[in-house]
Amino acid sequence: MDRRNFIKNTAITAAGIAILGSAAGLTNNKIIGDKKMNILVITGSPHKKGTSALLADEFIKGAQEKGHKVFRFDAAFEELHPCIACEVCKTGDKKCIYKDGMEKLNPKLFEADVVVFVTPLYYFGFSSQIKMAIDRFHANNHKIINTNKKAMLIATSAAANDWTMEGLVTNYNNILSFLGWENSGILLATGCPVREVIEKTEFPKKAYELGKNL
């Protein structure tokens, strides 16, 4: 599949929400039903009032109005260490050597029905702040792989080329394939460098609807 078709088949960027199934390509938005769920929202921006924080706020508002229980973990404001690949976590029943913000995140990760990754685009991928938390999933792969979880991706970027989000979406899809989680929705807010710009777009409303339709 060439680059243009890749993006066409996986995302409607400037236009709004893009939804793709974990393996089957483009699908309709999945309404998960009336079940009240535990939703874990992991954000990755150091801007408390930035573009992606606004979309996280709106998504959470929608999800809470629907009655879901939401836990928000702002990775940029937690004490987190990058995984150093010591693999101590893989020996016996030893845990990660770091006692940090992951101790708060992990119980929520284990109980989550849906994990929502909210990130600004940094060099065509996740921000390092959120990626640090994702890498630390490594210590608990055995507890989260094939656990019937769903995931969502919400991202903002300054640029709005048809390939701008390609690397991020591929990374997200590969993470889901590895973990055996099902994609439940992707919102790619391209062309939004700052808050004043994104506030004038449909993206905040789309984020709200994504939460409300869960």
Ligand X SMILES: Cc1cc2nc3c(=O)[nH]c(=O)nc-3n(C[C@H](O)[C@H](O)[C@H](O)COP(=O)(O)O)c2cc1C
Q: Is 159 in the site for ligand X (CB under 6 A)?
A: yes
Q: Is 157 in the site for ligand X (CB under 6 A)?
A: yes
Minimal distance, residue 163 CB to ligand X, in Å: 10
Q: Which stretch binds ligand X (CB under 6 A): 17-25, 120-128, 136-144, 145-153?
A: 120-128
Q: Which stretch binds ligand X (CB under 6 A): 78-86, 102-110, 121-129, 178-186?
A: 121-129
Q: Is 7 in the site for ligand X (CB under 6 A)?
A: no
Q: Which stretch binds ligand X (CB under 6 A): 9-17, 31-39, 50-58, 134-142?
A: 50-58
Query: Could you give the CA distance from residue 15 to residue 160 in angstroms, rounded to a whole number?
Result: 11
By CB under 6 A, name the one of 38, 72, 193, 213 that touches ligand X.
193
By CB under 6 A, name the one of 10, 52, 129, 183 that touches ligand X.
52
Q: Compose the 10-49 pattern: x for residues touching ligand X by CB under 6 A, - for all others.
A: -----------------------------------x-x--
Tokens 């394939």 sit on residue? 177
Other Cβ atoms within 10 Å of 190 Cβ, number: 21
Q: Which stretch binds ligand X (CB under 6 A): 12-20, 32-40, 158-166, 174-182?
A: 158-166
Minimal distance, residue 121 CB to ligand X, in Å: 4
